[in-house]
Amino acid sequence: MRNIANMFCIHGEFEDAAPYGQGHINDTYMSRWNQAGTTVRYLHQRINHAVFVRPDEVMENILRVTRHIAGKLAAAGTAGWIRRVLTVVPSRDGNPWVRDAEGGWWRTYLFIENAHSLDVASTPEEACFLGASIGNFQKQLADLKGERLHETIPRFHDMENRYRRFHEALRSDSANRAEDTRSRTESGAKCRAEKAAAEILFMEENEERGAILIRALRDGRIPERICHNDTKMNNILIDNADNRALCVADLDTVMPGTSLFDLGDLIRTAASRAEEDERDLTKVIFDPGFFRALLEGYLSEALDFLIPAETELLAEAGRNITQIMALRFLTDYLEGDHYYHTTRSGHNLDRCRNQIALIRSMDSQWEALLDTVRALCV
CATH at residue 289: 3.90.1200.10
Count of Cβ atoms closer than 10 Å to residue 10 Cβ: 18
Say yes or no: 89 and 186 in one domain. Answer: no
- Which domain CATH number covers 66? 3.30.200.20
Query: Are residue 204 and residue 132 in the same domain, yes or no?
Result: yes
Domain match, 192 and 78 both: no
* Residue 307 to residue 205: CA distance in whole angstroms: 30
pTM: 0.85
pLDDT of residue 184: 38
Are 66 and 200 within one domain? no
Residues 103 and 22 in one domain: yes
User: Distance (Å, rounded) from C-alpha 350 to C-alpha 330?
Assistant: 9
Same domain, 174 and 266: yes
Number of domains in the chain: 2
Q: How large is the average pLDDT for residues 337-354?
A: 94
Q: Which of 30-34, 114-118, 256-260, 316-320 has the lowest mean pLDDT?
A: 114-118
Asked whether residue 185 carries a pLDDT value surpassing 50, the answer given is no
Is the model's pLDDT at 339 over the cut of 90? no
pLDDT at residue 231 greater than cutoff 70 = yes
Q: Is pLDDT above 60 for 111?
A: yes
Residue-level length of the chain: 378
Are 17 and 32 within 8 A, CB to CB? yes
Q: What are the tens digits of pLDDT across the range 254-299?
A: 999 999 999 999 899 889 988 899 999 999 999 999 999 999 999 9
**Mean pLDDT for the stretch of residues 31-46:** 97
pLDDT digit string (tens) for 76-89? Answer: 999 999 999 999 99
Average pLDDT (135-143) is 94
> How far, in Å, CA of 86 to CA of 312, rounded?
33
- CA separation for the pair 272, 121 (Å, rounded): 8
Question: What sign does the dihedral 63-66-72-77 (CA atoms) show?
Answer: negative
Of 63, 91, 112, at which residue does a domain stop?
112
pLDDT higher than threshold 50 for residue 108? yes
pLDDT attached to residue 269: 87
370 and 222 fall within a common domain: yes
Q: Give the residue ranges of DSSP H helices in the chain.
A: 2-5, 55-75, 124-141, 159-172, 197-205, 207-210, 212-218, 259-270, 288-302, 308-311, 314-335, 347-363, 366-376
pLDDT at residue 212 greater than cutoff 70: yes
Note whether 98 and 161 are same-domain residues.
no
Radius of gyration of the CA atoms of the chain, in A: 21
Residue span of the structural domain in which 308 resides? 124-376
Which residues have a Cβ under 8 Å from the Cβ of 272 and sit 6 or more positions away?
120, 284, 285, 286, 287, 358, 361
pLDDT bin (cut points 50, 70, 90) of residue 118 is confident
Residue 209 has pLDDT above 90, yes or no: yes
